[in-house]
Amino acid sequence: DIVMTQSPDSLAVSLGERATINCKSSQSVLFNSNNKNYLGWYQQKPGQPPKLLISSASTRESGVPDRFTGSGSGTDFTLTISSLQAADVAVYYCHQYYTTPLTFGQGTRLEI
């Protein structure tokens, strides 16, 4: 299984400041034939299902504010929130869909 490890486990950031969440996979999730990283980021607020923010490591989903940016390739990935808003308080998960079993990071709790 591909193990996804996020850091930190929790993070407190002031409003308007930058938040950075890291995700490391135990093996590469880059498919060489199409140069695509099979890595997504989700946001989960209390009592709600996860919401897909970013796919292919860096492609923002429709309607996702541009303050959310995904980067990285291979085994090391980052989700950056450029200017934290109160609405961004949530738990964030990375997810590899390169191979089954599909796996998720343990989550990073983002607080203000």
Partner 1 sequence: QVQLQESGPGLVKPSETLSLTCSVSGASISSSTYYWGWIRQPPGKGLEWIGSVYYSGGTYDNPSLKSRVTISIDLSKNQFSLRLSSVTAADTAVYYCSVSTDLYDPLDYWGQGTLVTVST
Q: Which two tokens stand for residue 54?
A: 């970013």
* Residue 15 CB, nearest approach to partner 1 (Å): 26
Contacts with 98 (C-beta within 8 Å, 6 or more apart), sequence order:
2, 28, 29, 31, 38, 39
Determine the interface stretch with partner 1 among 15-23, 70-78, 79-87, 97-105 (rule: CB under 8 A).
97-105
What is the torsion angle, in degrees rounded to the nearest 10, for the CA atoms of residue 3, residue 29, residue 76 and residue 66?
A: -110
Selected from 27, 52, 65, 71, the binder of partner 1 by CB under 8 A is: 52
Write out the residues near partner 1 by the rule CB under 8 A.
Answer: 1, 38, 40, 42, 48-52, 55, 93, 95, 97-107
